[in-house]
């Protein structure tokens, strides 16, 4: 499932972009998934593209264009979490600390996190396309 077309829902900070460039060099094309579960599941998890299997219970929030990364980095979210966060714009950032053991940045001494702000445009209130 795709999030509402035409609404920018996801961005990346310059600092997170730098980490993504380094991870891309090590692991090849990348993707994110955010499940909304407890503990580490509430943080965005970075995987080699295609390693995390998405399906009908996931929403493609957007494709991040990261300077120096040749292909977009898809950002997926569980549909349940998207239902709660559909009114927000999310920015992928990075901070010092330990990431999840499953996320590629874990050994790098940083972790990805999400910063959010409310969307103010009308399309945020439309139901997502199936």
The number of C-alpha atoms within 13 Å of 78 and in the hemisphere containing its C-beta is 13
Per-residue model confidence (pLDDT) at position 20: 98
Rg of the chain in Å (alpha carbons): 14
Q: What is the pLDDT of residue 38?
A: 57
Per-residue pLDDT of the chain (130 residues; tens, 9 = 90+): 555 556 789 999 999 999 999 999 999 999 999 987 655 556 899 999 999 999 999 999 999 999 999 999 999 999 999 998 899 999 999 999 886 678 999 999 999 999 999 987 554 444 444 3
Global pTM?
0.83
Distance between CA atoms of residues 126 and 87, nearest Å: 10
For 91, the enclosing helix (H) or strand (E) is: strand 88-96
Give bridge partners of residue 38 from the DSSP assignment: none
């Amino acid at each position: 499932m795709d999030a509402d077309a035409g609404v920018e829902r996801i961005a990346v900070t310059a600092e997170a972009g730098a980490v993504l460039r380094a991870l891309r060099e090590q692991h090849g094309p990348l993707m994110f998934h955010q499940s909304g579960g407890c503990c580490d599941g509430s943080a965005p998890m970075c995987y080699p593209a295609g390693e995390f299997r998405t399906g009908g219970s996931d929403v493609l929030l957007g494709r991040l264009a990261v300077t120096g990364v040749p292909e977009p980095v898809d950002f997926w979210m569980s549909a349940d979490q998207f239902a709660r966060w559909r009114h927000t714009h999310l920015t992928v950032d990075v901070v010092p600390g330990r990431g999840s053991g499953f996320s590629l940045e874990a050994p790098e001494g940083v972790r990805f996190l999400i910063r959010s702000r409310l969307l103010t445009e009308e399309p945020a209130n439309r139901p997502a396309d199936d």
